[in-house]
Structure formats: structure tokens, C-alpha cells
Amino acid sequence: MSDWLAALDRRAELRAKAGLTRTLRPRAADDDVVDLAGNDYLGLSAHPAVTAAATAALAGYGLGSTGSRLVRGSTTVHHDLEEDLAGWLGAERALVFSSGYLANVGAIRGLVQPRTLLVSDAHNHASLIDGCRISGAETMVTPHADVDAVRAALAAAPNRPAVVVTESVFSVDGDLAPLAELHAVTRAHGALLLVDDAHGLGVIGPGGAGGVTAAGLAGELDVIVTATLSKALGGAGGVVAGPAEFVRHLVETGRTFVFDTAPPPAVAAGVRAAVGLAWAGDQLRAELGDRVALAVRRLRAAGLTGSVPEGAVVSVTAPGPEAATAWAADCRDRGVAVGCFRPPSTPDSRSRLRLTVNVGVPRADFEWALEVIVECAP
């Protein structure tokens, strides 16, 4: 065997010994597992209005977008979706990307100037971390949700452009960033605030418009919002929303936008239908909040340690990576899918099960799934 392949095998062996092996598990369309692992918080991915909109666009446009947005990939569906997203988020303009990952990388790169300092929360998602790295800018990582540390980082770099980078609802434990306080600090130092609202959009805030809106920051010219379209909206893609000048800058210079194939029109049409449902989905959000509270109560009653989330992510601490893997496998064997987060996917040394609450799951199935998780606990 070639030396480089042998080296990869050795690295795989080391990951296996550490309990860090990852495996692809294809699922069928008629899979009957109770899903507490996916991110379809509002159950919109299979909503009849969503699938009907996608089907109509598929018939009209075909399977793919046929090119990048600046060549032939932009359709009226994409533009209508961007207008709806901007209106929902209270932003001047919104720009759709093919993934939330590329939206984050592109947004951060677009905000960087010579000498820019990026101040990044220690619990930020990998796409934000990679965006900081790819930008080439100096990055200071501050302790999680520590406003004083952010203030100190900005004060130590006077007369430099700076961007504070955070999630709204953090993807690991579901806690909410102190966005209003962070914005006050960034504004006091003439910095910008970039918020990844992936796990907040559709779930929290007036009309489900996310954590930025909930914090009263919608439309602020020094706030940039990013999000995926694959979580509460049940589709795929990403969005960057903010001042019109910044969106124009991304259209003209953003490499992850300019050189990437546009999202398929059918996906954009389905997501647009989902935006309308999520915007008017207060009843769905009330049920979601009730289920989150039920999950926290049930897990705590069983003596399990977990997060008290602001959104719909509930994490439960596992004794270690092997225990987390075995726990998730036991749940799957009994028909319940849960997330299994281990280092290096976690920002600390703790392994967790991550439960993403989904109102598309029948209530009785959801309650049964909680019992299975408790019974399978190590």
C-alpha cells in the first residue's frame, strides 16, 4: 500500500481508539425513525405547500440552476426569496448562497479590510471558524458569551477595523448569545457585529425572525445577519442580510457567491413557501417551546445533565466519546435518531447527545422518544 494511504489508515485507527469514528448512514424516503437529530424544527421540509412550490418550480425550471448567479443561475424565484428574507429579517437586502457554510465564509471575507481584527466566540460553528481562518485576518477567540472579554479585545486594538463574530442560538448547547450587550460594545468601539442566526431563524423572535430581531437589532447598519435555509425552513442554502452596500459588495467580489453554482430554483421556491409559513408560525413555535420545556424536565428528572436552551437544541452530557456513541447507537436501534457530538466537533472536552426538537414528529412519538433516550442512558 502507498505510504500516504497507510498513514491515513493509521490516523483512522487512532480515531477509532478515541471513539471518534464517523459513519455515513443512508436513510430511505420511508424511514420510520423518530427524528430528533435533524434540524427541521418546524416540520416544514415535507409540508404540502412547500413541496407543491418546489414541484412547480421543478417543472418550470428543471433540476438545476445551470450556472452561477452571475451567469444564468439567478431566477425570479431566487430574487423573490431574497426580497421575502430581507422583509422578514428587517434588512435592506438579502443574498442567497448555496449553503450556510459558504454564506458565513463569504460574509466574513467580505467584511475584512487591511488590519481588521476578528473577535470570535469560542463556541462558534466551524463555518465561522473557517471563515475567520480563510479571511487571513488576525483573529482573537474570546471565552464563550463573555461580553467583557469582547470589550477588552476591542479596547486593546484601537483605531483598527474590527468585527465581532457570534452565533445567536449556539449550535452545541442551544444557549442564546447576549446580542444586545455585544452590539452595545461593538458600537461603542466602532466595530461591526456579525450574527449567525442559523438556529434562531424561524424559532425565536417576533414572527420567528430570529435572535437579531429578538434583541431589537433588526436593520441596524452595523449588524450583518447570516443563516442557513436548511433548519427551521426545511430546505437548503444560506443567506446574508444587511445593508444594501454590503450585499452589492458580495455580489461583485464574494468568491463563495461569484464562483459557486446557484441553488436549484425548486429548492429556492420551496424555501420561499417555508418562509411564509414560518413567518406566520406562532402556533408552531408555541408547540416547539412546549416540547423543549418537556424534554428538559424529563431529562432532569432522570438525573441527566443538559442545557437549558433558548431555541430548540437540547444537549445532554455523556461520560465520554465512546459512551456517547454507544448511547446514540442504542437509541437508533430502538427507533430514535439523536445527534452525537464529540471532540473535535464540540468546543470543549465534553461529549454530548444533541436533541433537535421537531414539531413535525407526532407528539406521542416525541414523548416516547424521550423515554427511550432516558432508558438507554449509560
Task: List C-alpha distances in Å: 347 to 90, 124, 125, 126, 225.
Answer: 31, 8, 9, 10, 22
Helix (H, G, I), strand (E, B) or coil at 227: strand
What is the rounded radius of gyration, in angstroms, for the C-alpha atoms of the chain? 21
Residue-wise pLDDT tens digits, 110-123: 999 999 999 999 99
Among positive and negative, which fits the CA dihedral 261, 267, 271, 272?
positive
Q: Show the domains of the chain with their CATH numbers.
A: 32-46+281-375 (3.90.1150.10), 48-279 (3.40.640.10)
Based on the residue annotation, tell me whether 231 is a catalytic residue of this protein.
yes
Pairing of strands 162-167, 117-121: parallel
Based on the residue annotation, tell me whether 39 is a catalytic residue of this protein.
yes
d(CA 184, CA 172): 25
Mean of all residue pLDDT scores within the chain = 95
d(CA 99, CA 304): 34
Q: Which of 35, 39, 65, 175 is flagged as catalytic? A: 39
Among positive and negative, which fits the CA dihedral 124, 129, 130, 131?
positive
What would the mean pLDDT of 353-373 be, rounded to a whole number?
A: 96
Q: Residue 1: is its pLDDT beyond 80? A: no
Q: Which of 231, 310, 315, 358 is flagged as catalytic? A: 231
Q: Which of 35, 40, 82, 167 is flagged as catalytic? A: 167
Q: Which of 125, 144, 183, 189 is flagged as catalytic? A: 125
What would the mean pLDDT of 152-178 be, rounded to a whole number?
A: 95
Q: Which of 120, 171, 307, 351 is flagged as catalytic? A: 171
Looking at per-residue confidence, does 367 or 30 come out higher? 367
Residue-wise pLDDT tens digits, 30-88: 889 999 999 999 999 999 999 999 999 999 999 999 999 999 999 999 999 999 999 99
Residue-wise pLDDT tens digits, 266-299: 999 999 999 999 999 999 999 999 999 999 999 9
Q: Which of 35, 121, 196, 197 is flagged as catalytic? A: 196
Based on the residue annotation, tell me whether 78 is a catalytic residue of this protein.
no
Task: List C-alpha distances in Å: 216 to 209, 223, 251, 301.
Answer: 11, 11, 27, 35
Task: List C-alpha distances in Å: 166 to 171, 198, 263, 310, 351.
Answer: 11, 11, 25, 15, 22
The answer to whether 191 touches 159, Cβ cutoff 8 Å, is: no
- C-alpha cell of residue 2: 502507498
Backbone angles phi, psi at 112, to 5 degrees: -80, 130
Based on the residue annotation, tell me whether 199 is a catalytic residue of this protein.
yes
Residue-wise pLDDT tens digits, 236-274: 999 999 999 999 999 999 999 999 999 999 999 999 999
pLDDT band for position 348 (50/70/90)? Answer: confident
d(CA 55, CA 264): 12
Q: Which residue shows C-alpha cell 452595523?
A: 222
Backbone angles phi, psi at 164, to 5 degrees: -95, 130
Based on the residue annotation, tell me whether 333 is a catalytic residue of this protein.
no
Helix (H) / strand (E) containing 288: helix 282-301
Based on the residue annotation, tell me whether 189 is a catalytic residue of this protein.
no
3-class SS string, 76-108? HHHHHHHHHHHHHHCCCEEEEECCHHHHHHHHH
Looking at per-residue confidence, does 141 or 23 come out higher? 141
Q: What percent of the chain stands above pLDDT 70? A: 100
Backbone angles phi, psi at 234, to 5 degrees: 70, 15
Among positive and negative, which fits the CA dihedral 147, 149, 155, 160?
negative
d(CA 318, CA 301): 16
Based on the residue annotation, tell me whether 125 is a catalytic residue of this protein.
yes
